[in-house]
């Protein structure tokens, strides 16, 4: 198999003396969609923070796009091509939709098919209609679309979504899933955290289940679908 885009080996991280992640080993290959699953408090957000340089790994190694990044700063990791759609969206209330997209595109990676404003608006026609509106004037669903479009505008090698469908109406959630399926069809490598396991299954190529900071199980969506015991044991569904 080809060299993975992201490789974690023996990764440990936490907050001061409170260790949260214990010896994680996993890979993400280019073009894959990987779902990160687990009940609340199992370490999903901590892992994502560690991958994007918001939290320093205490032990172990992370390689991304051929570079060791376990001691790298967040801006370098972003420049290597990791883009996060953070929990809570974090749009700027006083920047317009268009300004968000232009500001983030300033740090873009080169790509064969770059994300232009036109492509982003074609993916999310709602954002085209709202181009002049301020972040603070958008609905929760529109803010979520903007957070995804803003991350895409950097032409990410790896798109990371932390609870992207959290707190949204079902019709808006469906729009977010539709967009992620389109991105997958275009070959976008993605790591996604979400609690709607049934929606993630058709999208994800592989799934990682975190249990108290350890990978309790990893496998394909077909395997996870067939093993409902894993859902009750580790996912509480
Ligand atoms: N800033 C922090 N300082 C100290 N402990 C933290 C901090 N953030 C998270 N934790 C602890 O780390 C553990 C893992 O939390 P984390 O947020 O990574 O879990 P999660 O799987 O993402 O859960 P959730 O779905 O609730 O966000 C929890 O015990 C949590 O209390």
Q: Is 93 within 8 Å of 135 (Cβ atoms)?
A: yes
ipTM score for this prediction:
0.96
CA distances from 37 to 88, 191, 206 (A): 18, 11, 11
Take atom 1 of ligand 1 and give the residue whose Cα is closest: 15
Q: How far is the CA of 42 from the centre of ligand 1 (A)?
A: 7
Separation of alpha carbons 190 and 33, rounded Å: 5
Locate 184 and state its tokens: 């997958």
Instruction: Please enumerate in sequence order all residues whose Cβ is within 8 A of that of 179, keeping only pairs 6 or more positions apart, or say none.
Output: 123, 124, 145, 148
Does residue 94 line the site of ligand 1, with CB under 6 A? no
CA distances from 46 to 147, 149, 162 (A): 20, 23, 11
Separation of alpha carbons 134 and 85, rounded Å: 18
pTM, rounded to two decimals? 0.94
Locate 12 and state its tokens: 């440990």
Q: Which of 195, 197, 221 is nearest to 207 (CA)?
A: 221
**Residue 105 reports pLDDT greater than 80:** no
Question: Would you call 136 exposed, middle or buried from its count of C-beta atoms within 10 A (0-12, 13-18, 19+)?
Answer: exposed
Separation of alpha carbons 179 and 109, rounded Å: 21
**Residue 167 reports pLDDT greater than 90:** no
DSSP string, 179-196: HHHHHHHTT-EEEEE-S-
Q: Structural domains in the chain?
A: 1-81+193-237 (3.40.50.300)
Q: Is 27 within 8 Å of 14 (Cβ atoms)?
A: no
Take atom 7 of ligand 1 and give the residue whose Cα is closest: 15
Does residue 60 line the site of ligand 1, with CB under 6 A? no
Report the percentage of the chain scoring pLDDT > 90: 80
Locate 84 and state its tokens: 């996060």
Phi-psi region of 212 (alpha: psi -120 to 50; beta: other; left: phi over 0): left
pLDDT at 113: 78
Q: Is 211 within 8 Å of 18 (Cβ atoms)?
A: no
**194-233: buried (b, 16+ CB within 10 Å) or exposed (e) per residue?**
bbebebbeebbebbbbbbebebbbbeebeebeeeeebbee
Mutation probe of ligand 1 site: the residue of 19, 45, 166 with most atoms within 8 A of C-beta: 45
Q: How far is the CA of 193 from the centre of ligand 1 (A)?
A: 14
Does residue 86 line the site of ligand 1, with CB under 6 A? no
Cα dihedral sign, 88-42-202-230: negative
Take atom 26 of ligand 1 and give the residue whose Cα is closest: 40
Q: How far is the CA of 83 from the centre of ligand 1 (A)?
A: 21
Separation of alpha carbons 219 and 94, rounded Å: 43
Q: Is 11 within 8 Å of 60 (Cβ atoms)?
A: yes
Q: What is the pLDDT of residues 1-56, one digit of tens each?
A: 689 999 999 999 999 999 999 999 999 999 999 999 999 999 999 999 999 999 99
Q: What is the pLDDT of residues 177-222, one digit of tens each?
A: 999 999 999 999 999 999 889 889 999 999 999 999 999 999 999 9
Does residue 169 line the site of ligand 1, with CB under 6 A? no
């Amino acid at each position: 198999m080809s060299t993975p885009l992201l490789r974690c080996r023996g990764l440990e991280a936490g907050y001061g003396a409170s260790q949260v992640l214990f010896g994680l080993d996993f890979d993400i290959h280019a073009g894959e969609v990987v779902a990160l699953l687990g009940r609340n408090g199992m370490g999903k957000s901590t892992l994502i923070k560690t991958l994007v340089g918001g939290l320093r790994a205490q032990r172990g190694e992370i390689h991304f796009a051929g570079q060791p990044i376990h001691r790298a700063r967040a801006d370098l990791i972003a420049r290597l091509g990791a883009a996060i759609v953070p929990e809570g969206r974090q749009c700027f209330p006083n920047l317009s939709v268009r300004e968000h997209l232009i500001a983030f595109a300033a740090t873009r990676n080169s790509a064969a098919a770059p994300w232009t404003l036109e492509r982003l608006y074609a993916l999310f026609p709602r954002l085209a209609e709202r181009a002049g509106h301020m972040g603070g004037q958008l609905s929760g669903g529109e803010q979520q679309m903007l957070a995804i479009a803003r991350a895409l505008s950097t032409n990410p090698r790896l798109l990371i979504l932390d609870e992207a469908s959290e707190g949204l109406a079902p019709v808006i959630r469906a729009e977010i899933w539709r967009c992620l399926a389109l991105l997958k069809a275009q070959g976008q490598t993605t790591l996604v955290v979400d609690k709607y396991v049934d929606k993630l299954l058709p999208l994800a190529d592989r799934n990682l289940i975190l249990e108290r900071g350890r990978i309790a199980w990893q496998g394909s969506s077909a395997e996870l679908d067939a093993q409902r015991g894993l859902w009750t044991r580790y996912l509480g569904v």
